[in-house]
A and B are shown apart, each in its own frame.
Chain A
Amino acid sequence: MQNDQLLPHLYRTEYRKIIAVLARRFGFEHIQIAEDIASDTFLLASETWTSDKVPANPAAWLYTVAKNKARDYLKHNAIFKEKVSGPVIAASSVTGEADIDLSEENIKDSQLQMMFAICQPVIAPEAQIGLALRILCGFGIDEIADAFLSNKETINKRLFRAKEKLREQNIKIAFPQNKEINQRLETVLLTLYLLFNEGYYSVSSNTNLRKELCLEAMRLNYLLLENKTTDLPIVNALFSLMCFHASRFDARIDKDGEMIIYDEQDTSLWNDELISRGTNYLIRASRGDQLTRYHLEAAIAYWHTQKQDSAEKWESILQLYNKLLILEYSPMAALNRTYALAKANGKEKAITEAEKLTQLTGSHLYHTLLGYLYTAIDNEKALQHLHQALKLAKTTTEKNRIRKNMKALN
């Protein structure tokens, strides 16, 4: 690896490990110190590593420096406590040569526990995703800002407030108790699901960054699968869903970074290995009798990996969307169900159902869908809906796609 790429690469892979281990050791209330030590460690590396002087084992170098800095902090802190609060309290707190364990196993445990610590309903989902990207994935503030189409200042504020809130709630970096694991896991999975979607559906034009968000969500999900306690059907279902979606990474974006819709994708670019992995995890998800939205979404995604259009395919997708909506309403599911209905039972039927979705008339996607449904049935109406969609669309990519549909009508 080139030297100028080495440090950014290590930052991405090692920063998060150091911070998880240190924060777990110090407690969440001192996470800022863990972050400072991790940042200082990388700063020192950038200052002392020159092109002809890079340590033989760079990761080990970083660990040693971080460990020493952490020990210094603990020692200093113990002396400070002794002087300020007297020996009684100092004796009860951890002192001096306490071990900072940067073994692979402890890193994994720490990251897993950190995941549970960050994913808390007391902070908003976008703050959870931001914290996850910063602390669990080692993303820079500018990258997070880019992913959220925001600026550094806003993201910094958001993360700061989220950490304050978690501190107020006295959040511990620990594995949840057995009896609360299902409930806690739900929050964690939702964050990973949203993190993946942020990458998969984001309007950010940085396609590399978007792909990385997806891969990070998968890595964190896999961390849960590697642990016996959290290797549960629902966790497998979400991982299966991500594998199926990820299988279309290369087919859904063209060379200019524009989205290619499902119907127009080159299916030879679909990744067979990810599809078969997705299928395996879906089978593993079918143990037990739990049927969650992730199960249903994974099953829908499974059918989408079938290249051959068939009545069975679209009828299955329709029924899965029915089940998904009955379980939990979402605007996207309502629109996709209507599309599946058109594929399975014809456009006329779908139009009748689409006209009932009056709650979605403010969405450009709704009008794009009606534009598609009316095409070849009533082109005049199709055009009206596409005009409406164009008015409501926000991004250039969306507008271009709608214009393309309009051109096809003329």
Chain B
Amino acid sequence: MRRLLALFLLVLLSSCHGSSPPVAPAPASSAPADDFRSSTTYEKTALPVRLRIPALHVDSPIIDLGLQDDGAVEVPESVHEAGWFDGGPRPGQDGPAVILGHVDSKAGPGIFAGLHKVKAGTLVEVVRADKSVAKFTITKVSRVEKTRFPTDLVYAPSLDPTLRLVTCGGTFDHAAGSYRDNVIAYADVV
């Protein structure tokens, strides 16, 4: 079968080659390659400055977050502000951008108090310093023990333009003064 197909193709090729006039582009009078320049003007995606999640009534400035001395991610000082992990991609850029926010203070709700109950399809907008807006929709929400935090799924680089929103949830360890779990919302760029 393979040989028959190859033979058929060759017959076609031979017959066509001899009969049809070429419609090839004629060689240029000068060599266009002489003027070729490779692109060198890489434009980076602007920094995120504001987070909006209308369904959760979230509309907050975004601060930059790095790593603490022990290697854990920094968190915002204010429970009413979101923070972007600046060791990873910027929102809308290829790769997983990560934004963190508190679920609560000692006395009341924080910016991500409603994240654990957000629905798939919920719109998330990130306004950037150049006024452009990266839009995402939530695809799933999971709750995981902090001791089993899925670092690779949240932070590890692929080239898919995604967003992860991270906060606390689950039971509260009063002795340690912290929640035992993290709530993670995964979102894809629109």
Q: Does B associate with A? A: no
Interface residues of A (CB under 8 A from B): none
Interface residues of B (CB under 8 A from A): none
